[in-house]
Amino acid sequence: MMADTKEDSMYESARLNLLEVIEERNRALNRKALLHRLVYIAKLSGKLDDKRDLGAHYEKKFKQWQSHFQGEGATGMLLVYPNHYVHLVESSNEMLMALIRNLGTMELEKNDSLISQSKVLVISSNVPTRLFSQWSFRVLNLPASRLEEYETSESIENLAPECLSLMLKLGAYLAKQPKVTLKNVMDSLHEKVPDLLIPQDLIGYLLHSQDLCSPKEFLDKFDKPLDIVLDSELVWPMPTRNFPLH
């Protein structure tokens, strides 16, 4: 009987919890922290004369945040449309939160603002692998979106994952391209893979949705503690449990 107890004790001490398994995997992959993925959309400010300034803004910010947080570096893709842009970023949670806070700050700026509105599509936590090997941006050579209102019978619950799926498929497509031709492919995405680009009218439609969070709404939910009131707390006297006497 004592031998069985000893074996059980050794077995229990050797078991790993989920956090330890994740940390062990990160060490094997030489990761400094958990990897997360953010996808959001935004409307460009009318004061933005050169769309390449948006790419320069994020290149500067990523270097600044990387030196501050000392976590996972940023990889991903920024696609700039005539009036909007979509941005996928893979990095640490701290850097993604800094990015969302920066979005909220830019929306409040009246002078030299790069964007006028933005919405968070999705944040995926503990992403197993990076889809992009580096961060890059491209200004798409597209005509301005039509002025007609985008019409669809699909719900936001279906449209947001559809946009995410297109970005993931685009990343998978680019990952298969030879390095010698990658730049030419990225410079002509609208010609080579137009079916992998999120329609710009759809981006405008999603920006007006009340079901998607603005940076401020997202941060309000992220920063405030979760306070759930149970039904049992709304009655008096509070119910008590009767434990059997031994």
The Cα-based distances of 217 to 16, 118, 171 in angstroms read 37, 11, 28
- Second CATH level (architecture) for the domain 26-218: 2-Layer Sandwich (3.30)
Q: What is the pLDDT of residue 11?
A: 46
Q: For residues 207 and 190, give the distance between their C-alpha atoms in angstroms, rounded to a whole number.
A: 22
Nearest to 101 by CA among 215, 213, 214, 207: 215
pLDDT 10s per residue in the chain (246 long)?
555 555 555 445 566 666 666 666 656 555 556 889 999 999 998 777 888 989 999 999 999 998 887 777 899 999 999 999 999 999 988 999 999 999 988 887 766 778 889 999 999 888 888 999 899 999 998 887 654 566 677 888 889 999 999 999 999 999 998 888 888 989 889 889 999 999 989 999 999 889 999 999 998 887 776 666 777 667 777 666 665 655
Q: What is the pLDDT of residue 243?
A: 58
Q: For residues 89 and 120, give the distance between their C-alpha atoms in angstroms, rounded to a whole number.
A: 12
Q: For residues 33 and 29, give the distance between their C-alpha atoms in angstroms, rounded to a whole number.
A: 10
Q: What is the pLDDT of residue 91?
A: 92
Q: For residues 120 and 215, give the distance between their C-alpha atoms in angstroms, rounded to a whole number.
A: 7
Cβ–Cβ contacts within 10 Å for residue 171, how many?
19
Whole-prediction pTM:
0.76
Tell me what percent of the chain is helix, strand and coil, each rounded to the nearest 5: 45, 15, 35
Residues 6 or more apart whose Cβ sits within 8 Å of residue 23 = none
Residue 193 CB burial class (10 angstroms; 0-12, 13-18, ≥19) = middle
